[in-house]
Amino acid sequence: MSMETNLQGRLRNTSLPYSHGLLPLFEAVVNSIYAIEEAELPSRSGNITVEILRDTQQILDFESGSKKRGPDACKDVIGFMVTDNGIGFTAPNMKSFLTLDSEYKADKGGRGVGRLLWLKAFRRVTIHSIYKDADGVFKPRTFTFTAEAGVSNGKSSNASQETQRSTTVHLDDFVKRYREASRKTTQAIANSLFEHCLWHFVREGGAPNIIVKDDDECINLDDVYEGHMVSSAETESITIKDKQFDLTHIKLRANSSNSHIIAFCAANRLVKEESLADKIPGLYGRLSDNDGEFVYACYVTSPFLDETVRSERTDFDIIENPGELFRQTEISFGEIRDAVIERASFHLSKYLEENKVKAKDRVESFVSQKAPRYRPILGRIPEDKLIVDPNISDKELELTLHKHLAEIEEQLLAAGHDVMNPKKDEELEEYQKRLQEYLRTAEDIKKSDLANYVSHRRVILELLEKAIQRGPDGRYVQEDLIHSLIMPMRADSNEVMPDSCNLWLLDERLAFHDYLASDKTLASMPISDSKETKEPDLLALNVFDNPILVSEGHKLPLASIVVIEIKRPMRNDAAGGEEKDPIEQALGYLDRIRKGIIKTASGRLIPNSEDIPGYCYVICDITSTIKRRCELFTLTPTHDHLGFFGYNPNFKAYIEVISFDRLVNAAKERNKAFFDRLGLPTT
């Protein structure tokens, strides 16, 4: 008993992604290639013409797909006509067409479902064929193929006036969603068709003459082939679990493709492409040989792929990873991919050496000049993992190296839990070896942390140097930017992480404080009951709970207060009064703090608060008005004349006025030994 097939039901169960809208056209062209082969025409006498049909009413911008009129616009594609001089719709071919899932051309990889793809993307297909019957008589056959009516309007006569074979497949009424997602220009469509049929061009015997026509424009795929190919394709075969796979290594001109790929084929049709990016060390950008730059493609064919391709020919029914249970018997797609990549890597090895050298130089330069923290762990990263794209950005390279550092730290953490306990039946020598390796790794990580800390300081110094320079507009930055480099504004030591503060720019000792406030009012500080709303730029309280070298009976205030004021570079309007004189301003903040009841950050009272030593730092350029204020306070110039210092007995405070240049120079001198050790420039 025969079973009936519901065409519309089969169409619903047939998958065609919107991004594959041109696949039905490609299927029609491949069918034409097979029809020419079946006709056994003399070499290079087979002809296929692909005519692009466009809507005469609509004009589209082919780059954006939006309606537009102008020189960069083209008419919307509504269908295609594929004409060939192959064998045509003979009685056996017609019977096969009427049989879904026909096995008539199974030996060529045919699945009998190609025509279903036509009706997924096009609402109507009209076919007109002149063929030669078994008696050698030329006969015509015409019919329409739709989802609703199936095959209809069939016309056939006993003889034709034509004396040559000819078959035209008219793919009509391109479905909007497929049309919008498909290539639109003549060249783009021709290139896509060529890439799909590339196997037919590089195989022995080559492809028929294929022409793509679009109004007055005409593209011969032989010309596309010449424009794409750099040299003759090279072939080889590999075996995976008794299954043979044929690899065709192809060099394509650099302007024909954007990336290196593996192309998996079935039944001489392209099924899927995978990028080789990040899969072969050194395979970045374009490669070069004696013929110039090229990109690489590896076409993979196999009877196994023919057997496992899905009916829609958009993927394979091959498991990606079979797991341990079936690993010995089942072929996984990952296994195929890995084997192909290994051969592709070997095939390209002579072209990759230059990229590997450039990659090594890129990493070395970046680590030496910008990220020395990674120097200690470079030797622990597999060499192939360091072969990066020479054109990689600093950001991406930093992320790559940091990922490896994190992996090493994670491994170290895991090993640390077990390293102090010998494993069961572990020999002493083996345990000592494992312990020494753990300690060496830990040492490298700590070196990396120290290098990161030092290189961070150099970056901060670079930013500070740029901040104090006059900008392109002739102006200097506001003091807020410089302030933020030293410590985030409107925060205190309970709100910010130590790593976000760069107090070492002024004095390394400022890192050791009991309380630190940045641009906060005196009233908001927990160390004093002052009600003042004044906001010192930076204020620090140091408390020494365990003084040493203090003679018995001599009591010193076990604390000190540091006030820091920052002014805009090259500001030259200093005058008497707190509003205009930064020295008076700093002393005023110090005095207000002392007049309150001073406590530690944890709430303990500090005795003799009015006698707590004070240190006032003013960071500004030594302009004429600032110099005059320093002289009025009887401050002494520094030896380089880039600052002033002195002690004010009335306020019991040490005062230092530091120019931005002196601040930068002093910070560089204090850190120079560290920078030199890491190979970091200080200028």
Q: Rounded CA gap, 207 and 12, in Å? A: 34
Going from N- to C-terminal start, the domains of the chain cover 7-221, 229-352, 370-467, 479-674
Structure-block tokens of residue 133: 């019957």
CA distance readout (Å), 70 to 61, 73, 218, 456: 8, 5, 22, 54
CA distance readout (Å), 11 to 146, 187, 642: 11, 31, 84
Burial 344-382 (b: 16+ CB within 10 A, else e): bbebbeebbeebbebbeebbeebbeebbbbbbbbbebbe
β partners of residue 298: 249, 262
Angle between helices 624-632 and 582-595 (to 10 degrees): 50
> What would the 3-class secondary structure string for 492-552 be?
ECCCCCHHHCCHHHCCHHHHCCCEEEECCCHHHCCCCCCCCCCCCCEEEEEECCCCCCCCC
Return the beta strands (E) in 256-301 as ranges: 261-266, 269-275, 287-289, 292-301
Q: Which residue has the tokens 């003399």?
A: 42
- Per-residue model confidence (pLDDT) at position 246: 93
| pTM, entire model | 0.54
Identify the CATH number of the domain defined by range 7-221.
Answer: 3.30.565.10
DSSP H helical ranges for 541-623: 582-595
Chunk the chain into consecutive blocks of 10 residues (it has 683) and report each block's average pLDDT, rounded to whole numbers: 66 86 92 90 87 76 45 75 94 85 54 78 94 88 90 76 89 93 90 85 84 93 84 86 91 74 84 87 82 86 90 84 72 92 91 85 82 74 83 87 80 64 69 69 66 70 80 78 80 69 77 78 81 83 53 51 89 89 91 77 70 89 94 93 93 92 86 65 55
Q: Rounded CA gap, 205 and 43, in Å? A: 8
Q: Which residue has the tokens 């030669």?
A: 132
- Per-residue model confidence (pLDDT) at position 428: 65
Nearest partner of 673 among 381, 454, 437, judged by Cα: 454
How many Å is the maximal CA-CA distance in the chain?
A: 131
- Per-residue model confidence (pLDDT) at position 65: 46
CB 539 within 8 A of CB 564: yes
Burial of 284 (0-12, 13-18, 19+ CB in 10 A): buried
Q: Rounded CA gap, 101 and 111, in Å? A: 6
CB 133 within 8 A of CB 59: no
Nearest partner of 20 among 275, 304, 316, 315, judged by Cα: 315
CA distance readout (Å), 30 to 175, 198, 286, 330: 21, 11, 31, 31
DSSP state of 355: H
- Per-residue model confidence (pLDDT) at position 546: 42
- Per-residue model confidence (pLDDT) at position 448: 66
